[in-house]
A and B are shown apart, each in its own frame.
Chain A
Amino acid sequence: MRLLDWNYFSVSTSTVASGFDESALVARAQAGDMAAFSELVQHYDRRVFRMAKQITQNDDDAEDVLQETFMKAYTHLGDFHGNSKFYTWLVRIAVNEALMKLRKRRSDRTVPLDEPIDTGEDEVVREIAVWDQNPEDTYSREELAQLLDQAVQSLKPAYRTVFILRDIEEMSIEETAEALGLSISAVKSRLLRARLQLREKLTRQFKRKGDDAFAYL
């Protein structure tokens, strides 16, 4: 007998969209309701995969992270005591898995994750130009997604992970710090650097024609 029936999910999609009750589903899953756990997976799998891919920059590693995250979540459901949101707990598992992949791959230590980080005191702002118009109106969703992906991928891992958790996954500064084992001030300085670097990259892409940089700082 199939435990997970795709038809079940297609039927329940509207319920998930309209009345997703995370804590009720977690409680049911902890009581052994596999359909409830499956609904949690269904709700979060895209976000976990996106995050895994953005951190590892690799489909194979992202797939491993995706699987490991939900397998571990299932195995350790009893260890989740509701001190944070379930998704925050899930993200912590996924981030650990993704960083382990990254560390393994970077065993040559060319770009260690704990490399010295700029403090944010020497931020460089070169591109000072207003944006042409709303990028969503100029680019298709696919084109825009690709541009944004490329911009995030170009960040160093230390900045990228902070930006992904804080500004894409919309975790708080405190949650981001906890998930990455960093201090609040380290998260803040990395986040500033990441945001400004992304702003530079996107401004080069989206700036109004003829509105080039002028002196700054």
Chain B
Amino acid sequence: MLTCKQFLQELNDYLDETLDPQTRAELQKHVNECPNCWVVCDTTQKTLKVFKGMDPKPIPEDIHSRLWAALEKKMSHKGTSSC
């Protein structure tokens, strides 16, 4: 019988779905029977989902302009030759 601590140690691989079917089935059984681990698993999954759903914000205009100015300078020095 899997303990909560053992479940927690396997949580990453469980969430990333990188476990062999037998280990996954054991963890699935534990999470179905243990309300605390179910909550931890569910909220960790939601944590990852909320981060993955965030698009990067636009770069501040002044920083963006300086990036392109620097690249333009670099490219003009190098011309059109390949590296």
Interface residues of A (CB under 8 A from B): 2-4, 6, 30-32, 34, 37-38, 41, 45-47, 49-50, 59, 63, 66-67, 70-71, 74-79, 120-121, 123, 125, 128-131, 135-136, 144-145, 148, 152, 167-168, 170, 173, 188, 191-192, 195-196, 198-199, 202-203, 206, 214, 216-217
**A167 CA to B46 CA in the complex, in Å?**
12
| Chain A, Cβ-Cβ closest to B78 | A74
Given A4-B75, A148-B54: 15 more A-B contacts, CB < 8 Å: A32-B82, A37-B75, A41-B67, A74-B74, A130-B42, A145-B54, A152-B51, A168-B51, A168-B54, A192-B12, A195-B11, A195-B15, A198-B47, A202-B43, A217-B8
- Which residues B6-43 have CB closer than 8 A to chain A? 8-9, 11-13, 15-16, 36, 39-40, 42-43
Asked if residues A217 and B57 are in contact (CB atoms below 8 Å), the reply is: no
28 residue pairs from A and B, CB less than 8 Å apart: A4-B68, A4-B71, A30-B83, A31-B82, A37-B75, A45-B64, A66-B59, A71-B71, A74-B75, A75-B74, A79-B83, A123-B8, A128-B36, A128-B40, A130-B43, A131-B43, A136-B50, A148-B51, A167-B52, A173-B16, A188-B13, A191-B12, A195-B47, A195-B48, A198-B47, A199-B40, A199-B47, A217-B4
**A4 CA to B44 CA in the complex, in Å?**
43
Once A167-B48, A216-B36 are accepted as A-B contacts, the answer to whether A136 and B58 lie under 8 Å apart by CB is no
Asked if residues A168 and B52 are in contact (CB atoms below 8 Å), the reply is: yes
Interface residues of B (CB under 8 A from A): 4-5, 8-9, 11-13, 15-16, 36, 39-40, 42-44, 46-48, 50-60, 63-64, 66-68, 70-72, 74-76, 78, 80-83
